[in-house]
A = this chain, B = another copy of it.
Amino acid sequence: MRRTSRDIRVANRFEVLRHIVAARGESRSVSRQQIATDTGLSLATAANLVGELLDLGLLVEVGYQDSNGGRPRALVSINPDGGRLVGIDVAETYVHVEVFDPALTVLASVEEELHPEENRPEQVVRHIVSSFEAANVDPARVLGVGISVPGQVDTDGGVSVFAPNWNWHDVPLRTLLAGELNLPLYLDNPLRACLVAELWFGAGRGRQDVVVVNLGTGVGAGLAFGGELYRGATNSAGEWGHTTLVVDGRLCHCGSRGCVETYVGAPGIMQNLRDMAPTSPMLHPDDQTATIAALARGVAGGDPVAVKVVTETARYLGVAVADLINLVNPEVIVLSSWVAAQLGGPLLAEVRAVVDRHALRRPRAATDITLSALAGNPVSLGAATFALKRYLSALRTPLRS
C-alpha cells in the first residue's frame, strides 16, 4: 500500500508497453481505448502513457480502426526501429547474445562456446564482450543490456554473489564489464529470465501462479505469484535446485548434500548414467553437452540404457516437481533450458507419471506440466525484457508535465 505516485506511474508505463508487446503474434496494433479496457487504467491515463511511449519512439501511430459508427480510433503499435535491446545468456557451457527490437523480436543471435576450465571472471568477461561485438549492434541505438549469469545475483549492485558451478563469490561483474561495454547493464539470473520470458510470451501468459523449472548444468525454478515475478527477501527465491531430495545424498557444490541439482542437472544425469553403465559410449566424461545429446539420441532410438537413465532421472525430477505442486499450487509448471529441450517428450512423459504418484490430487489436477514452447533462447529474451523494464524505470517521470 505504500507505493509512491512515481512508483505507480513507472509501473503503469511498463504495463502499457508490456501489454502491447505481449500482443505480439496476435493483432499487432491496438487503440488507446483497448489498452484502457485491458489494463484497467482510465482512458486519460492510458492515453497519457501512450503519448510518453510515442515520444520515446517505442510506439508509432499506425492508422485508424472503425468503431461501429463512432469516431474512428487511432491505433498504435511497437516501433520496430525504436532502439535495440540486448539479452545475454551466460551459461556454464556457452555465451549466447541476442539483439531485439522493442517488440522483443530477435534481430541477431551469436553464440560462443565456453569450456569448463574457462570460468575465471576475466575469461567470462572476455567472451561476453567478444560475442556482444560479434552481434554487430550499433551501441548508440542500444537502450539496455540484460545479462543473465548462473547462481545468486545482487541485481542492484551488479554483483554475482555466488555461482556454485564456477565457485564465484561476490564477483563485481557489472564493474568488470563497464569499461568494455559502456551501456546500461542489468544483471540477473536464468531462473528469473526464463520465468519472465514464459510469463510474457510462453505458457505463463495470462496466468497468475507460474513455475518455470530450469534444467541445465545447474537447476532452479523461476516463480511468479499473482502474475508477477517473485524475488523473495534478497532476490534469491527459486533455489529449488538446492532443496534436499535425498537426506545425506550426493555431495553438492553448494556445500549441502542430496540437492535436487545433483540428480537432475546435466552433471547429475551424467552420474546417473555412470552409476548404471560406467562404460557406456554415450558417456563423454568431460562434455555435458555431448553426453546429454547422446542420451537424447539413445532414447529416440530405443536404447535401453538411455531409456533407463531418463526413467531414473525422471524418478528424481518427478518427486521434486510434485514438491513444487504441493507447496506452491501453481497453474502451470514449464520445463525449460537446454536439458529439457534435449530430453523433451520422453522426459516429460516419465515426469508426469511420477508426479501423479506423489502430488496431492487436487493441486495436481490444477497444474499443467509442459515443455517450454518458446522459440529461440528464453534466457536472452527474459534478460532483454529486464533491460527494457530498467530503461523505462530510469526515465524521469512524468515525461510530459
Contact = CB atoms under 8 A, between A and B. Distances in A.
Interface in A318-348: 319-320, 322-323, 326-331
A25 interface: no
Given A2-B40, A221-B327, A246 B247 contact: yes
B319 A236 contact: no
B39 A244 contact: no
Interface residues of A, number: 58
Nearest to A15: B1
B327 A363 contact: no
Given A233-B209, A233-B331, A316-B247, A239 B326 contact: yes
A244 B323 contact: yes
A232 B329 CA distance: 5
Interface in A169-212: 208-209
A64 interface: no
Nearest to A357: B256
A361 interface: yes
Contact of A363 (B234, B245, B315, B329): B234
A361 B345 CA distance: 36
B237 A208 contact: no
Interface string A337-378: 000000000000000000001111111011100000000000
A235 to B, nearest CB: 8
Nearest to A252: B358
A22 interface: no
A393 interface: no
A135 interface: no
A242 interface: yes
Contacts of A290: none
B233 A330 contact: yes
A397 interface: no
Contacts of A326: 236, 239-240, 242-243
A360 B2 contact: no
Nearest to A238: B327
A152 B327 contact: no
- Residue among A232, A359, A361, A363 with most chain B CB within 10 A: A232
A162 interface: yes
A234 B329 contact: yes
Contacts of A319: 244, 247
A233 B238 CA distance: 18
A243 B362 contact: no
